[in-house]
Amino acid sequence: MATPQENLLDWLRDAHAMEQQAEKMLKAQSERLEHYPQLKARIDQHIEETLGQQQLIDQCLARLGGSSSTLKDMGGKLMAFGQAVGGSLMSDEVIKGAMAGYVFENMEIASYTALIAAAKEAGDSETQAACEKILPQEIAMAEWLLEHLPELTQAFLRRSADPDKEAKR
């Protein structure tokens, strides 16, 4: 059996690994984007947000006497690497990347929603406040991706149909 505090600490480690994975995925996607400047700019903005989120989670872990899980962090980084390599091989990389990003953002939204409730139950107002600061950033990124996916798809399809243009990234 685990206390609310123990579960909170474990879930914060998960969030740390998740943000490490997000950073790797976002950076890989940003570095490869060539023909979609609006998407690249939004991803670059979210990279900066992600780095700030990592700091907030690190502070929560340190305050609670915990540390990140090397195993979870490595697993997240390996998954991000696999996604980046796999995505780079697809002819529709930009669309698959945007769809994967949307799914990942929603996983982060669920994670921070649970962390807020866990922190509240554990009586940890500082962790609750940190997660409440992060959650709107994840929601905003997910909403942006969903809102821009139709026009991104249309731009991809137009570029893809033109033999003189590269569409994949």
Q: Residue 167: pLDDT band by 50, 70, 90 thresholds? A: low
Which residue type does 153 have?
T
The pLDDT assigned to 77 comes to 46
- Express each pLDDT in 63-118 by its tens digit: 998 776 555 545 544 554 445 444 445 679 899 999 999 999 999 999 999 999 99
- Express each pLDDT in 119-137 by its tens digit: 999 999 999 999 999 999 9
- Express each pLDDT in 44-56 by its tens digit: 999 999 999 999 9
**Torsion, CA 21, CA 88, CA 104, CA 27, rounded to 10:** 50
The pLDDT assigned to 119 comes to 98
The pLDDT assigned to 5 comes to 94
What is the CATH class of 4-161? mainly alpha
Its pTM stands at: 0.86
The pLDDT assigned to 115 comes to 98
* Comparison of pLDDT for 92 and 139, the residue scoring more: 139
The pLDDT assigned to 66 comes to 79
